[in-house]
Chain A
């Protein structure tokens, strides 16, 4: 059966975080009249606490590259770029052992490119040697991406899944990165419909102490209390455990704010200035809690890119689910 038909049959979803239907992206790229099409594999993996792309690159190198070539040939791309986290250059030789084609290139994310470098339009800017900043969307990359040409962008795990679909071995599983205060940290593979509770049980990671959980990454993931674990892990499938004993409300919020402040590319007001003022409030006498929350809401509502707006997710869910009485003490 035709690969695209198989992908449709499995209703394959992207594994980069947003869960967009793979076939929709393919059809958009294939329908473009522009002959110069590009394939870009996003392995920037900038979300703290997520290591599944690395796991696939390290342990499933051959299958991953077989997937790359399948897609490359199917959409008749002029070129494929593997855009990888700079830490993964240690696998460079390993990856290259499977590449004979001259039109597959590896580019490593620059160390100073920041969190936003994994955002797909920012990645395109970096690949074109422009500032590491998001672009306006629309146009979407499938219509006008790399070098203004139709560009198919897939996460490493999505490519791996496409390979599994092609050989008929796709089982609707996904990779989970488990970390934090757990006995058995690591990357695991389970059915995509497992709940967080079940995954923790299966990996023997369910804590005996009082804890809370962040799922979807340590920067942008939602925070849940221990009674809310009947949910599936979101985003790129990370699960982080925090104990009440070893965590501090204020430091947790401060670390989040600092991470976003340091990552802000500077393009838009709500993120550049907003995170600066949030940081200022947390480090000085200028704390005004209602104003603090307004700035968080404002980021969520008006940040230019999805990364900027995601600071609201952990901060608001922490306050809602873990400590409704939270107010910073300076």
Chain B
């Protein structure tokens, strides 16, 4: 690639020709604000905040849309840049109904940050969208039209990253609005079915919204009084997902990928949780159960490929868009549901607590986990296992709101019967992690001996589709990992050539989940991933089936004849 010099604010910078001025500036720590630019998505040039002056250009230029050319002289903070940028920011702010005092996303809100930075008078224009509607998608995600600033990143995230085209932009000019597509009657045979573009609740819209107009449906306001008014005989348990420990630190200014398990446990204890349990434990039981199913399916030539089901957005996608694949989904419940099931049975029994007195709060990187927790198929004895599901962002907001100085906290260990886990459980939060964990265990069982190879690097990384074939005994196990739901289209027509497929809706897997800190981008995803793999590599215990605590728990369920109810489930076609 050609390299040449340009000047930004009189500073000489060596650049390559394919880079935009905005990318170059940010790489060189020169601040150019933007609200509609996101490195995951195509450049749009809508918001009008990344304006710069280029010598020889009559008009101001959008730094996101112009590629560098040799000799370009760019100024990022002239009077005319400042004037237009501030005015556009003022105009955008006037679109955004002011709900900051109760908004969970206020700690991540880029509009708020820019308004403070440039000292924008937020009352200059009257708000124009106060009457707009809020669209709610299951219990997972919502889009509040009164806060939308028309950047359209949610639209691109929905279409390009998740590939489901559930959102659309209706109307023109000031009347344009992001809305869910209407379902239409589709005739199949004699019966009319409602079909269209259903939401899978992944929350990528929320993750890419700079102003919290698309966000999780918060459950904090209901959880807070529960924590406050807890009765003596009641216990509130937090269960934390594998990926949250490497991301939540970012909300308190720590570097992406910083591992903060101990601080998170301390913070949760301070907030009033009686116990903190590790979903990594449930990841190990999921691996053991799922690997067993893989082996059975291979032996009995039962429907292959086996499809993972720990991503609830993917399960929802299969049920709605590809019901013919339901038979391929593993019957194993997800780590969130395994852990919750074990808390209400094994943990309750061993600690002599009535299951009805335990409230479970999931701390998840995900918005779809909110939906999963309410699924009828995943109840136990007719009741939901989980009471609340918080995203990483909500959890950080709660910690911040309670004035807990997160970075100054001492570490606390989880230290209970549901906290010991293998390295395989730790990497569940990364795309390819579920596959790698399952293979470590399945190979061991199929070969009936200890396998020296532990790292399956072909499962790792940010590629949209990862394929490999693993030699086992006299055959080859063909595997595929779909990283980002839109990439499923690459294999949808020939999935029968694989034996086992992992699908994660969010790019990067759960570390890039819809409930994770904002911003999330490729660099940040990679840092979070790296941190998970280093937990794994530092562990002595690397394989799920070697986790004696997990085996003990599974044994308990079998002895009580509740293993089927707690560990397995089934799915059905959905038309809504």
Cα A168 to Cα B515 with chains together (Å): 69
B169 in contact (CB, < 8 A): yes
Cα A268 to Cα B92 with chains together (Å): 10
User: Which residues, 284 to 317 on A, are CB-close (under 8 Å) to B?
Assistant: 286, 291, 294-295, 297-298, 300-302, 304, 309
A264 touches B59 (CB 8 A): no
A277 in contact (CB, < 8 A): yes
Contacts of A302 in B (CB 8 A): 48, 51, 59-60, 84, 88
Cα A293 to Cα B308 with chains together (Å): 59
Cα A277 to Cα B93 with chains together (Å): 13
B118 in contact (CB, < 8 A): no
Cα A274 to Cα B65 with chains together (Å): 21
User: Which residues, 159 to 184 on B, are CB-close (under 8 Å) to A?
Assistant: 169, 171-176
A154 in contact (CB, < 8 A): no
CB B79 to nearest CB in A, in angstroms, measures 11
CB A134 to nearest CB in B, in angstroms, measures 9
Q: Given A131-B169, A270-B88, A301–B80 Cβ distance below 8 Å?
A: yes
Contacts of B128 in A (CB 8 A): 276
A264 touches B48 (CB 8 A): no
- Return the contact of A273 from the options B83, B84, B92 (Cβ within 8 A): B92
Mask of B122-140 contacts with A, CB within 8 angstroms, 1/0: 0011101000000000000
CB A77 to nearest CB in B, in angstroms, measures 28
Contacts of B125 in A (CB 8 A): 277, 280, 286
B-side interface mostly: loop
A301 touches B150 (CB 8 A): no
A270 touches B172 (CB 8 A): no
A323 in contact (CB, < 8 A): no
B95 in contact (CB, < 8 A): yes
A185 in contact (CB, < 8 A): no
A270 touches B91 (CB 8 A): yes
CB A277 to nearest CB in B, in angstroms, measures 6
A264 touches B88 (CB 8 A): no
Q: Given A295-B87, A298-B87, A302-B88, A264–B46 Cβ distance below 8 Å?
A: no
User: Which residues, 236 to 287 on A, are CB-close (under 8 Å) to B?
Assistant: 261-270, 272-274, 276-277, 280, 286
B248 in contact (CB, < 8 A): no
B198 in contact (CB, < 8 A): no
Cα A264 to Cα B171 with chains together (Å): 11
Cα A309 to Cα B60 with chains together (Å): 11
Q: Given A114-B172, A266-B176, A270-B88, A309–B46 Cβ distance below 8 Å?
A: no
B173 touches A264 (CB 8 A): yes
B47 in contact (CB, < 8 A): yes
Contacts of A262 in B (CB 8 A): 173
Nearest CB in chain A to that of B172: its residue: A266
B174 touches A270 (CB 8 A): no
Q: Given A269-B48, A309-B59, A276–B174 Cβ distance below 8 Å?
A: yes
A294 touches B59 (CB 8 A): no
A270 touches B84 (CB 8 A): yes
A136 in contact (CB, < 8 A): yes
A270 touches B48 (CB 8 A): yes
A274 touches B45 (CB 8 A): no
- Return the contact of A266 from the options B65, B91, B94, B150 (Cβ within 8 A): B150
- Return the contact of A136 from the options B45, B47, B88, B124 (Cβ within 8 A): B45
Q: Given A136-B45, A272-B174, A286-B126, A298–B84 Cβ distance below 8 Å?
A: yes
Q: Given A294-B83, A302-B59, A273–B172 Cβ distance below 8 Å?
A: no
Q: Given A298-B83, A301-B84, A302-B48, A274–B169 Cβ distance below 8 Å?
A: no
Nearest CB in chain B to that of A262: its residue: B173
Q: Given A114-B172, A301-B59, A274–B46 Cβ distance below 8 Å?
A: no
B43 in contact (CB, < 8 A): yes
Q: Given A264-B173, A266-B172, A266-B173, A304–B87 Cβ distance below 8 Å?
A: no
Nearest CB in chain A to that of B35: its residue: A269
- Return the contact of B65 from the options A136, A261, A272, A298 (Cβ within 8 A): A136
Cα A10 to Cα B173 with chains together (Å): 42
Nearest CB in chain B to that of A265: its residue: B172
Cα A270 to Cα B173 with chains together (Å): 12
Which 6 A/B pairs are nearest by Cβ-Cβ distance?
A273-B91, A266-B176, A269-B48, A302-B84, A266-B173, A264-B173
Given contacts A269-B92, A274-B91, 9 further A-B contacts (CB under 8 A): A265-B173, A266-B173, A268-B47, A268-B48, A269-B91, A276-B174, A297-B84, A298-B88, A302-B48
